[in-house]
Each structure stands twice: as structure tokens, then as C-alpha cells.
């Protein structure tokens, strides 16, 4: 596999070099007297990647050091023990983590954009919607959730990019990744619980304190070294799954105590969709479908972890839409 990768890349470079030498000289290049500038820059870039490919070829599963052996159904296109610079730059090259990095990096920028949008546009909307003499509902629980989502997506993306550098960095980043997932689940409770139980501070504080304590405990469990081995994957998945499912309790409470409010039905529908996205994502994550059916077929695109990532972003976005409904409701419906 190592030899195959090197041969393929040297062939593509030869073809690319041929095409660059046959490119006609543009009038701008003639004006500046620098006809070879763009082709030499292109060759420089290709030269860099060629050196990287020669010195650090992508390897197959059997050549991996122990700390990178995680999914035996992904057979090839691994980076292993790369220096930090090459590892960082590999964000722009094709390997079996490329889509894992970008699915959550794009998700991070999506939520960054939503945070800016909510802070600017929605703030004015709240002031407009809130009746005279009443302040719009506070936004901090909403931003807690957006912060948790961005932290989760960014740590995940960073982890997938840099974990191949060394076992030590891999160990630290995987812990951060799990901490990010726990943070996103815990902070997701804040908008629905805060706005639903705005006028019932005892229940509000009970649920928010409860999920904060459980979130911190989950992070501590994920930091325990002996629970990080691949054989504990299902246990870890169940732990996070259980934390998410505990959201059913305040959800049912809302359905009972606020059954007369139209917003109850709409937000619950969004929350059911969110739960479905996360649950299906967790199933893909744990079962490693579809790559277990055809090992090696989904190394670059289509393997379970990429599907899991996309479903996580979809679930978080659905939750964002539900949280907007809560805010609109509380901008117009206070406690008096």
C-alpha cells in the first residue's frame, strides 16, 4: 500500500509537470516579464507535497502504531507519526481523516455565523417583539449552548487533524474531544430548561444544576485512562447516549406543565428530530456501518464516523432552531 501510494503520486506529479510546461503564456505574464512565475509557484507547491508524500506516505492499517489502531474496517490512507507541520498542512490533502476534519470544521463556522447572527439580528428582533415596558428575554442560556456546540465541533476537528502526530498528543486530544461532546450535550439543556421553567426557578435550578453535575462527571469518566481502550467504545457511547436521553425528563415535565402553550408542541417536535439525529448518529458510531460490510471501500468517503459527524451537526442545528422558538416565546410571554 505504501509503494502504491508513492507510485500513484509520482505519476500524477509527472503529468502535472507536463501540463504546466505546455500552458500558454498569458498577456499579464508577458507584461510583467515573469512568464514562469505561476508555473514555478505551482511546481513549488507540487514539490512540497511530493516531498511530503515521499517522506511520509499514507500507510495501511497493518502498518499503524498501536495508538492509531481504532477501526479495523478502514484499511488504507492513514497518516502515522507525521511531524507537526506536515500534520497541520494535511488539512488540505486527501487521507482517511479529511472529511472527518472538514465536516466538523464547517459545522464550527456554521455555528460561529449563527452566534453572530443571533447576537446582532435577533437582538433587535427581540426588542421589536417584546411588548412595551418589558425587556426581551435574556440570551445567556442560548449563548451557553452555542458556545458548547462550537467547542465540541472545534475540538473534534482539531483532534481528527492532529491525532496522528504522536501517541501523547493523540491521548490529550481524544480526551478533549470527549469533553467537547459532554459540553455540547450539557449546554444543550440550557435554552429549553431555562426558558420553559423561567417562571419556576426551583425546577429551573434543579434541572440546570443536575445536568451540569452529570456533565462534569461524564468528563471525569472520559478522562480515566483505562476506559479509553477500543473495547470500551460501547460503554462510552452508552454513557453519552444516557446523558442525552436524560433530556426526556424535563421534556415530559414541559409537556405536562405547559400543555396549553402552542410553543410546547412545536419545540417538542424539533427536539424529537434532534434526538433522532443524535441517536442514529450514535448507532452509526457504535456499529461502524457501512465500512464493516465492505472493509476498505469507504476509507476516504462514506464511513460511519463521517456520517456520525454530519448527524451531530444536523442535530445541533435542529436544537438551535428550537431554541429560537423558545426565545421568541419568552420575548412576548413573561411571568406576569
Name which of 165 and 204 has its Cβ closer to Zn ion: 165
CB of 103 to Zn ion, least distance (A): 8
Residue with the closest Cβ to Zn ion?
156
For residue 18 the three cell numbers come to 507536463
**Which residues pair with residue 207 across a beta bridge?**
none
Length of the chain: 336
Which residues lie closer than 8 Å to 35 by C-beta, 6 or more apart? 25, 29
Nearer to Zn ion by Cβ, of 156 and 158: the residue is 156
Nearer to Zn ion, 73 or 329 (CB): 73
Shortest approach of Zn ion to residue 228 CB, angstroms?
Answer: 14
* 260 marked as part of a ligand binding site: no
CB of 284 vs Zn ion, minimal distance in Å:
11
Q: Which is nearer to Zn ion, 156 or 304 (CB)?
A: 156
Q: Which is nearer to Zn ion, 99 or 198 (CB)?
A: 99
Report the residue number, 74 or 323, with the smaller CB distance to Zn ion. 74
Q: Which is nearer to Zn ion, 146 or 173 (CB)?
A: 173
Q: How far is the CB of 309 from Zn ion (least distance, A)?
A: 6
Interface contacts to Zn ion, rule CB under 5 A: 156
- What does the alpha-carbon distance between residue 308 and residue 282 come to, in Å, rounded to a whole number? 7
- Please, which residues have CB within 8 angstroms of residue 289's CB and are 6 or more apart in sequence? 283, 304
Instruction: Report cis status (omega within 30 of 0) of the bond before 140.
Output: no
Q: What is the smallest separation between the CB atom of 157 and Zn ion, expressed in angstroms?
A: 8
d(CA 193, CA 177): 25
Please indicate if the annotation marks 305 as binding a ligand: yes
Question: Which CB sits closer to Zn ion, 52 or 173?
Answer: 173
Q: What's the closest the beta carbon of residue 6 comes to Zn ion, in angstroms?
A: 29
Q: How far is the CB of 303 from Zn ion (least distance, A)?
A: 11
Q: Flag whether 309 is marked binding.
A: yes
Nearest distance from residue 156's CB to Zn ion, in Å? 5
Write out the chain in H/E/C secondary structure. CHHHHHHHHHHHHHHHHHHHHCCCCCHHHHHHCCCCHHHHHHHHHHHHHHHHHHHCCCECHHHCCHHHCCCCCCCCCECCCCCHHHHHHHHHCCCCCHHHHHHHHHHHHHHHHHHHHHHHHHHHHHHHHCCCCCCCCCCHHHHHHHHHHHHHHHHHHHHHHHCCCCHHHHHHHHHHHHHHHHHHHHHHCHHHHHHHCCCCHHHHHHHHHHHHHHHHHHHHHHCCHHHHCHHHHHHHHHHHHHHHHCCHHHHHHHHHHCCCCHHHHHHHHHHHHHHHHHHHHHHHHHHCCCCCCCCCCCCCCCCHHHHHHHHHHHHHHHHHHHHHHHHHHHHHCCCC
The annotated binding site for Zn(2+) is made up of 160, 305, 309
The annotated binding site is made up of 160, 305, 309
Amino acid at each position: 500500500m505504501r509503494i502504491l501510494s508513492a507510485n500513484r503520486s509520482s505519476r500524477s506529479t509527472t503529468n502535472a509537470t507536463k501540463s504546466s510546461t505546455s500552458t500558454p503564456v498569458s498577456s499579464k505574464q508577458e507584461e510583467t516579464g515573469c512568464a514562469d512565475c505561476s508555473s514555478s509557484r505551482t511546481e513549488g507547491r507540487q514539490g512540497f507535497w511530493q516531498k511530503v508524500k515521499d517522506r511520509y506516505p499514507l500507510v495501511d492499517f497493518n502498518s499503524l502504531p498501536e495508538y492509531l489502531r481504532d477501526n479495523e474496517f478502514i484499511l488504507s490512507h492513514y497518516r502515522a507519526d507525521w511531524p507537526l507541520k506536515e500534520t497541520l498542512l494535511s488539512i488540505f490533502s486527501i487521507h482517511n481523516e479529511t472529511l472527518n476534519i472538514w465536516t466538523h470544521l464547517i459545522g464550527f463556522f456554521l455555528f460561529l455565523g449563527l452566534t453572530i447572527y443571533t447576537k446582532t439580528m435577533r437582538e433587535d428582533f427581540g426588542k421589536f417583539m417584546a411588548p412595551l415596558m418589558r425587556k426581551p428575554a435574556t440570551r445567556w442560556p442560548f449563548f451557553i449552548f452555542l458556545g458548547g456546540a462550537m467547542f465540541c465541533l472545534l475540538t473534534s476537528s482539531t483532534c481528527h487533524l492532529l491525532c496522528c502526530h504522536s501517541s501523547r498528543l493523540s491521548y490529550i486530544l481524544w480526551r478533549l474531544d470527549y469533553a467537547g461532546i459532554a459540553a455540547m450535550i450539557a449546554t444543550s439543556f440550557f435554552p429549553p430548561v431555562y426558558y420553559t421553567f423561567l417562571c419556576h426557578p426551583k425546577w429551573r435550578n434543579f434541572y440546570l444544576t443536575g445536568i451540569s453535575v452529570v456533565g462534569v462527571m461524564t468528563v471525569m469518566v472520559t478522562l480515566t485512562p483505562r476506559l479509553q481502550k477500543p473495547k470500551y467504545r460501547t460503554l462510552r457511547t452508552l454513557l453519552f447516549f444516557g446523558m442525552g436521553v436524560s433530556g426526556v425528563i424535563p421534556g415530559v415535565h414541559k409537556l405536562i406543565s405547559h400543555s396549553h402553550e402552542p410553543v410546547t408542541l412545536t419545540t417538542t417536535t424539533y427536539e424529537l428530530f434532534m434526538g433522532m439525529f443524535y441517536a442514529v448518529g450514535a448507532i452509526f458510531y457504535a456499529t461502524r456501518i457501512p465500512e464493516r460490510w465492505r472493509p476498505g471501500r469507504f476509507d476516504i468517503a462514506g464511513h460511519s464516523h463521517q456520517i456520525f459527524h454530519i448527524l451531530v451537526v444536523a442535530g445541533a442545528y435542529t436544537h438551535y432552531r428550537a431554541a429560537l422558538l423558545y426565545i421568541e416565546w419568552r420575548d412576548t410571554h413573561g411571568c406576569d
